[in-house]
Amino acid sequence: MDIDLNPLKNLPSVDALLNDPSLQGSLLKNERPYVVSLVREYLDFLRKRIKGGVTCPSLEEIVAGVTAHINASLQPSLFPVINGTGVIIHTNLGRALLSEESLAAMRRAGQTYNNLEYSLEKGQRGSRYDHATRLLRLLTGAEDALVVNNNAGALVLVLSAFAKGRETLISRAHLVEIGGGFRVPDIMAQSGSRLVEVGTTNRTYLRDYQQALREETALIFRVHASNFLITGFTTEPSLDELVRLGREQGLPVVYDLGSGALLDTTGYGLAREPLVQDSVAAGVDLTCFSGDKLLGGPQAGIIVGRQPLIAQLRRHPLTRALRVDKTTLAALQATLLHYVRGEAEQKIPVWQMIGMKVNEIEARATRIVEALKQQGIPSAVVEGFSAIGGGSLPGQSLPTRLISVAVPNPSASTRQLRSASPPVIARIEDDRLVLDLRTVLPQQDETLQVILNDELGESGVGSRK
């Protein structure tokens, strides 16, 4: 019996595939170099599988695979999902949703010429930062403000401008990782500032800062514990004490607030998140925070504080490298206007979700569960909790109602839901698949119900072991 010593010999060549009648239609209307590259990519994928012991597919199967690969590769990879996790500011799912007004502002800025850097009054070049500065000053009480592309960029800029080649004092309790493997010490190192740790993980006193002061000291740096908690025997100086020390020593005090709350969270049964305006009122020289967390706007790093320091930052070469574009500024301005007009809780999705009543969520969940039961899908409305997420209010949660679905294999079911169109992101609790409608947009309820029925019904994965 002949033994096939070269299982790869049955793979067609690139030219053979390109000349196949099935690929001569719409696929080759695309730019030929791109199609050739994608065909080679798919053949490389098959070679690896065959070398791993998989039987070489037929020509017909290969042509079908190439077609699917090309079609998938020529489609956008960033698309909407239904967030059923209950995590409001979900970093992996795009963080804060934007208001309708913010989206409209981005569209206007993107599809027409605008006065981004043009003074209509003077008829000459203006500053892009003016569009957000006035509103940030009004809302926070700060003398001046600057917007860059994200909060990590804001920290690098501040440290580079004021502490490069010199020392920055920071409590050991604040040497945190802010997500995605990025750590505050690493960010500080990139700025060229030398990190000087004071105190201990759980206890830092004012005298620790005082004892670390040297001629090389340039900044006193504080990080708000926005994504972690240290409990038990803890101590740290008040903001007023640090500001007073900074004034006595002629050193700027920089506060990384992270989440950037402008509204009091205690009204929603949550712990109090430090407000940006409180930091400014305490006399902090520079306060940094994110635009796409509790502020509810686009990704941005916002710096507010004393005018001479902001002016120095505005002139720094890094500012141009970190600057935001017209669509970001348009969305940020629209978001800030919601606060100025007193409509943030009604217009900004983050605050709409935080303020959503449990009975409203329960009513929506009940309607979906009743429809699922009619299709024979075992489900129920149960009590649960929603998370704020995005490095905001650690350990805090909001009471909610969950759609709980009993499926034989919850992990397989969540995978199946992720492959739906649009994908549905669920979570698993007590070996049951659950979804929290707090983070599902009301207009998505009907689509969610259809997907759950299709994917978890008798013909879906929910019925499989």
What is the Cα–Cα distance from 11 to 98, expressed in whole angstroms?
49
Q: How many CB atoms lie within 10 A of CB 207?
A: 11
Tokens 């409305």 found at = 381
Tokens linked to 415: 């995978």
What is the Cα–Cα distance from 27 to 36, expressed in whole angstroms?
11
Give backbone dihedrals phi and psi of 264, rounded to 5 degrees, phi first: -75, 120
- Res 1: pLDDT: 40
The DSSP secondary-structure symbol of 56 reads P
- Res 461: pLDDT: 46
With a cut of 50, which residues of the chain have pLDDT below it?
A: 1-3, 461-465
Give backbone dihedrals phi and psi of 288, rounded to 5 degrees, phi first: -115, 145
Q: Which of 461, 389, 404, 397 is nearest to 437 (CA)?
A: 404
Residues pairing with 253 in the sheet: 220
- Res 177: pLDDT: 64
Q: How far lies 392's CA from each of 259, 289, 296, 439, 448, in Å?
A: 6, 11, 12, 16, 28
For 359-408, the pLDDT digits (tens) are 999 999 999 999 999 999 999 999 999 999 877 777 789 999 999 999 99
Walk me through the domains of the chain, giving residue ranges and CATH numbers.
7-73 (no CATH), 82-90+353-463 (3.90.1150.180), 98-347 (3.40.640.10)
Burial 97-110 (b: 16+ CB within 10 A, else e): bbbebbeebbeebe
What is the Cα–Cα distance from 26 to 452, expressed in whole angstroms?
34
How many residues are present in the chain? 465
Q: How many CB atoms lie within 10 A of CB 144?
A: 20
Asked if residues 465 and 408 have their Cβ atoms less than 8 Å apart, the reply is yes
